[in-house]
Amino acid sequence: MSVLQADGVRVFPNPRAAARGQAYGADRSAILNEAGFDAAQREIASWPGYAPTTLRRLPGLAATLGLGELYCKDEGDRFGLKSFKALGGAYAVFRLLKSRIEAANGGVAVTSADVLGGRWRELVADVTVTCATDGNHGRSVSWGAQLFGCRCVVFIHQTVSESRRAAIARYGAEVIRVAGNYDDSVRHAAGQAASRGWTVVSDTTYEGYRDVPVDVMHGYGVMSRELISQLGRKPPTHVFVQAGVGALAASVCANFWLEWGERRPITVVVEPERADCFFQSAQAGKPVVVHGDLDTVMAGLACGEVSPLAWEIVSAAANAYVVLDDRFALEGVRAFANPARGDRAVVSGETGAAGLAALLATRDSAQLRAALQLDAASRVLLLGSEGDTDPQIYRDIVGRSAQEILA
């Protein structure tokens, strides 16, 4: 299958996508499964401040894009962290602490209420969690560590903005900037954890490290469970999902495949052109590492290596991959902020606007729309994965603050 392209956009229809009628295989269901998603949903729904985020219907924007319906899951209010990632990192922190406490106390059952109430304060305080981040994941891990009472050290790479660094530190984490790109910071965090006895809480897997990322992805599944309920269990025809290392995409694919089977939506994976590890891996039929600075305005997607675990799921579930020039992400942020007639404004960061960016980039190409099976009957779901996680960058793009947009 060849790559299709237009100005600033490339599309690769996935020839290896599983047939629509193929069941979610036993090998993949062992990775992300109903029991894991159920446990995460029960746990996270019990936390203080939990509420499902809003699913916004955007009929005006749908009309301008030549679509039947358009929905956006707005994660800007998630636990006050402005990102869906609050669901994954913090949940994995709790699961880690729960396991440590139970092991130290003869298997006694531990609840988050116990930990939040300080019952195991001294034991928890001896635990240090760490991660690498480009912003949102580190904020989730540091928030979870503060919430449950353990220590946290977060590593950021050289292009992470100062505002995103400060947002992580606000939750009590020690934030350390290291040389190189995101993938370099991942390796640095792993090395520091191994030498200091810390525990890595990452959403990407590597050899010998799998259980924690599975917890992270099951945590992300709370968003998909909310979507299934909000859509009235009627699947959209399409879902556009951001890639990065693939943890979110894998979680969404698994949840929708488990719920809807052969009726699951056409899944389109979106990446920036300088960090297109899934796009290149899909063409090669195996994981491919993308080198370079990975610099993109879509900061949350600046990843050059797929998570092997996520690849197992996404490579079978994704129907197409789209790679974009950064300008379309900026256009998407502005389109959300300046709504079409009848729509409400959505405050979205650059990464959160990736799905809309793909629609904007392909709207004038009949060939690309046909490749993505988009037409006037399509009901498209976008994942607004973040709000204004860097308020100054958001203001620079839109010309107004999030508060002004929503007012």
Residues 222 and 260 in one domain: yes
Q: Above 70 in pLDDT, residue 102?
A: yes
Q: Above 80 in pLDDT, residue 27?
A: no
CB 265 within 8 A of CB 256: yes
CB atoms within 10 A of CB 99: 13
Residues 269 and 339 in one domain: yes
Residues 266 and 307 in one domain: yes
Residue 208 counted as domain residue: no
* Per-residue pLDDT reduced to its tens digit, 287-329: 999 999 899 999 999 999 999 999 999 999 999 999 999 999 9
Residue 207 counted as domain residue: no
* Per-residue pLDDT reduced to its tens digit, 212-246: 999 999 999 999 999 999 999 899 999 999 999 99
CB 349 within 8 A of CB 394: yes
Residues 80 and 94 in one domain: no
For 211, the 3-state DSSP assignment is helix
pLDDT at 30: 65
Quick one: CA torsion of 88, 92, 93, 99, rounded to 10 degrees? Answer: 160
Residues 248 and 301 in one domain: yes
Question: Which has more pLDDT, 29 or 376?
Answer: 376
What is the per-residue DSSP string for 157-171? -TTS-HHHHHHHHTT
pLDDT at 28: 55
Residue 351 counted as domain residue: yes
Which one of 183, 202, 221 terminates a domain?
202
Using alpha carbons, select from 229, 204, 231 the residue that is nearest to residue 382: 231
Residue 376 counted as domain residue: yes
pLDDT tier at 352 (50, 70, 90 boundaries)? very high
* Per-residue pLDDT reduced to its tens digit, 34-48: 999 999 999 999 999
Residues 171 and 246 in one domain: no
pLDDT tier at 29 (50, 70, 90 boundaries)? low
Which one of 171, 202, 233 terminates a domain?
202
Residues 65 and 37 in one domain: yes
Question: Which has more pLDDT, 29 or 160?
Answer: 160
Residues 281 and 375 in one domain: yes
Choosing from 74, 82, 98, 134, the catalytic residue is 134
Residue 36 counted as domain residue: yes
Residues 265 and 345 in one domain: yes
Using alpha carbons, select from 9, 12, 14, 21 the residue that is nearest to residue 314: 14
Query: What average pLDDT does this structure show over 123-142?
Result: 94
pLDDT at 188: 94
Q: Do β-strands 69-74 and 128-133 pair in parallel, antiparallel, or remain unpaired?
A: unpaired
- Could you tell me the residue range of the domain that residue 304 belongs to? 4-85+213-406
Largest CA-CA distance found in the chain, in angstroms, rounded: 63
Query: What average pLDDT does this structure show over 346-359?
Result: 98
pLDDT tier at 21 (50, 70, 90 boundaries)? confident
Residues 169 and 223 in one domain: no
Specify burial of residue 51 (Cβ count, 10 A radius: 0-12, 13-18, 19+). Answer: exposed
Residues 70 and 39 in one domain: yes
Which one of 149, 170, 202 terminates a domain?
202
Contacts of 230 (CB under 8 A, 6+ apart): 52, 55
Choosing from 82, 85, 98, 183, the catalytic residue is 85
Residue 262 counted as domain residue: yes
Which residues share a beta bridge with 354?
Answer: none
Instruction: Based on the residue annotation, tell me whether 134 is a catalytic residue of this protein.
Output: yes
Residues 293 and 364 in one domain: yes
pLDDT at 276: 97
pTM of the model as a whole: 0.95
pLDDT at 183: 87
For 88, the 3-state DSSP assignment is coil
Query: What average pLDDT does this structure show over 150-158?
Result: 96
Query: What average pLDDT does this structure show over 141-154?
Result: 97
55: domain CATH number is: 3.40.50.1100
* Domains held by the chain: number: 2
Q: Which amino acid is present at 135?
A: G
Residue 373 counted as domain residue: yes
Residue 35 counted as domain residue: yes
What percentage of the chain has pLDDT greater than the value 90? 90
